[in-house]
Amino acid sequence: NAGVMQNPRHLVRRRGQEARLRCSPMKGHSHVYWYRQLPEEGLKFMVYLQKENIIDESGMPKERFSAEFPKEGPSILRIQQVVRGDSAAYFCASSPGTGDIYEQYFGPGTRLTVT
Amino acid sequence: KNEVEQSPQNLTAQEGEFITINCSYSVGISALHWLQQHPGGGIVSLFMLSSGKKKHGRLIATINIQEKHSSLHITASHPRDSAVYICAAPETSQGNLIFGKGTKLSVKP
């Protein structure tokens, strides 16, 4: 019974490159949340998606960041033209979307380093 | 808008001590999460609770909805309990979480 999977676990990008972070939710889960943890800071909400829908992206920076959760395949958080300030740990959490909607299971995170 | 505050920010204990970490929130919520994070590591969900008390091994979590307060207790603490403990509450009815700043626990042998 696999948990939430994220890959890659570590990602190094040069300034100006693109970063793609993937999140595969737990089996049967159709809701995904993305959170960011900047160095020495707490976790902050970025975006909430259901399959093929962005429900709430109020925590997402307005430029360079986008997220999707297609009908098939993992959820993807995409950061274009990365800058040093994007260096952080990015966590996704999945939720069943039915029953207890506040139940969330976290992935191991992707640590992005921008050089 | 919900706000989540934790105390203490840092906690050092001797092995075997009973530990309490507190969390308060500003808006009525339906559930509160306690999470554990080891240095450089992932996030492990310890508890989600909406009332009363839950226990798992040496960990106990309690919540008082009227007082908007939750506590995480660790009995017979061990060096392997050293980690950052984070409480989190739903910011909206959609479930996206708002997090406390975390309590960094260090248990000395």
Q: pLDDT tens for chain B, 109 residues: list them.
A: 678 999 999 999 999 999 999 999 887 677 899 999 988 788 999 999 888 999 999 999 999 988 889 999 999 999 999 999 999 988 877 788 999 999 999 999 9
**How many other C-beta atoms are found inside a 10 Å radius of the C-beta of residue A62?**
6
Which stretches of chain A score pLDDT less than 70? 1, 99-101
Contact list, A33 vs chain B (CB under 8 Å): 95-97
Q: What's the CA gap between A63 and A4, in Å, rounded? A: 27
Predicted confidence at residue B3, as pLDDT, reads 86
Q: Which of A31, A33, A108 sits opposite B42 (nearest CB)?
A: A108
Predicted confidence at residue B1, as pLDDT, reads 64
How do beta strands B43-49 and B103-108 pair?
A: unpaired
Tell me chain A's radius of gyration from C-alpha atoms.
Answer: 13
Mutate to test the interface with A, among B1, B96, B97, B103 (most CBs of A within 10 A): B96
Using alpha carbons, select from B22, B29, B24 the residue that is nearest to residue B96.
B29
Greatest Cα pair distance in chain A: 43
Predicted confidence at residue A99, as pLDDT, reads 64
Q: Do A42 and B48 touch (CB under 8 A)?
A: no
Q: Do A42 and B42 touch (CB under 8 A)?
A: no
CA end-to-end span of chain A, whole Å? 37
Contact list, A45 vs chain B (CB under 8 Å): 91, 96-98
How do beta strands B43-49 and A53-56 pair?
A: unpaired
Strand ranges, E, within chain B: 4-7, 10-14, 19-25, 32-37, 43-49, 52-56, 59-64, 69-74, 83-90, 97-99, 103-108
**How many other C-beta atoms are found inside a 10 Å radius of the C-beta of residue B99?**
22
